[in-house]
Structure 1
């Protein structure tokens, strides 16, 4: 049966609309969820987001307020990537929890600092003072290694980046070290003589990570932050797009201009 010309036109239009709909769907940006901690990591990823969008990747930013959940969420498939941790911390999480997670690109370095509400210099801190450090192994060890690097304590070299209070060999000033959740360390400052605080939590608490520390880590060593994904995803095209968008000249300029040395690009 021959269809009327009007019916043929309607079918042709419907087919064209269907094809254009398929084309639009094919061109639609791929969406991924990326976990960060509040502060600089979140701010930087906001700067990455429009660059990634131009490259066909829609980044949905998910903020977690601690260091434990982002890797658990990644391993379970709740998110597709995270950007919040340095490699020693990720290595420790993988060793302790068996996560199949892989670092795929370097991001930034946050030189850790020791802060005090009471003392203007570390030399002024008295014998027997209380110093708070992060309660996760790698960041707590990082503070201890900072003190060891400055000759204040001596740490067993075999401990490496996993140094703990138990690895202190010499403590001439008999400091008492208390371990506190990293996010709570700024709030602990009125109750301790000093505290080693990660840059993101220092900034979130209104501290200046360049001017306020009475002791500050040198911008060297293994504590460079990474983008991490599930190992099974590491070769997917969106991973390359995410890393290249992060490691773009525009993002590097944003980091340098925004954080004034408190956060350093590491690629």
Structure 2
């Protein structure tokens, strides 16, 4: 595992990213109807309280925006629970430690269902993180040398997505008969002899000083204090990879879950995403 101290000096948001990814955090309770400075007030006993698991700053900030600006319309309070991996938000949902999570897209969820046998259900898709090829050394794909090292996510869905991005940018070729989800075994040609290293998704950005380039999202790279200039963006902004609100099957009609599901697609949330992330994150509703 690589260390964050190897990264360039981090911005304020970058430091927030380190804290989120470095270790599991105790739930942060941020109630609606409060000032942006304090971020907390005592909840009204008549309000519904919903616990939502997240793994990244974007989902957290969207939920905070809803809490501070919209939730009071629905008598809703949101308790944000932070995790540092992509497994615990679903097991916590299974164990009813949280009511929903907001960190995964539907293909990832479907694979998690197969692996964990947890009956997950995706509700409204909210925003899309597009992938890119990021380097501190190179500015274009043409500059990538022979035997270059690249880090990509190791989970089935994002590993497939990363390898297909390398293919779309002419760095590798995949077998013609490759299945729906490709792995390194499906590489037919690797003309630059890329050394492809796989790590857990939340660790990818930490490797940027130790490899020639990484496959990551622009927003994740930006939050780590690195200029989010991509050498090669994802060619198809496929909405199936949009992050959605997820809960357990059978809980989707609970009032507090439906309240949040409704607020997540409020026009003000779309405006917030567009203004805050300036195209690095794309609302899909």
Q: TM-score, normalised by structure 1?
A: 0.84
- Hey, what does 2:20 align to over in structure 1? none
- Tell me if 1:193 matches 2:212: yes
In 2, are the aligned partners of 1:35 and 1:81 still within 8 Å (CA)? yes
Structure 2 residue aligned with 1:7: none
Unaligned runs of 5+ in 1: 1-24
Q: SS at the partner of 1:215? A: coil
Q: CA deviation at 1:216?
A: 1.4
Q: Distance in 2 between matches of 1:159 and 1:127?
A: 28
Match of 1:38 among 53, 56, 67: 56
Alignment map for 1:221-236 (pairs within 5 Å): 221=238, 222-236=240-254
Counterpart for residue 216 of structure 1: 233
Number of positions where the alignment pairs a residue of Structure 1 with one of Structure 2: 240
Aligned partner of 2:76 among 57, 61, 69: 57
Q: Tell me the secondary structure at the aligned position of residue 233 of structure 1.
A: coil
Alignment of 1:69-148 (within 5 A): 69-148=88-167
The 8 Å contact of residues 71 and 82 in structure 1, kept in 2 or not, is answered as yes
* Segment of structure 1 superposing worse, 64-73 or 226-235: 64-73
Kindly indicate which of the two structures has a greater share of residues assigned to helix.
1
Q: Tell whether the 8 Å contact from 1:182 to 1:198 is kept in structure 2 after alignment.
A: no
Pair 1:258-2:276 in alignment: yes
- Mark the runs of 5 or more structure 2 residues left unpaired by the alignment: 1-42
Distance 1:109 1:31, change over 3 A: same
User: What is the DSSP-based 3-state SS (H/G/I as helix, E as strand, rest coil) of the residue aligned with 1:216?
Assistant: coil
Aligned counterpart in structure 2 of residue 159 of structure 1, from 152, 155, 179: 179
SS in 2 for 1:169: strand
Runs of 4+ in 1 over 4 A off after TM superposition: none
Cα distance in 2, alignment partners of residues 183 and 43 from structure 1? 18
Larger radius of gyration: 1
Given candidates 86, 99, 109, the residue that maps to 1:67 is: 86
TM-score (norm 2): 0.79
- Asked whether the 8 Å contact 1:102–1:231 carries over to 2, the reply is yes
Provide the C-alpha distance between the structure 1 equivalents of 2:280 and 2:119, rounded to a whole number of angstroms: 31
CA distance in 1, matches of 2:235, 2:171: 15
Quote the offset at 1:142 in angstroms.
1.0
Post-superposition CA distance 1:150-185 (Å, at most 9, x none) = 33322246432x221122222222211110122222
For the 8 Å contact 1:38–1:200, the answer to whether it is kept is: no
2-side partners of 1:76 and 1:128: how far apart?
A: 45
The two structures, once aligned, show a CA RMSD in angstroms of 1.9
How much has 1:122 moved relative to structure 2? 1.4
CA separation in 2, counterparts of 1:71 and 1:247?
A: 22
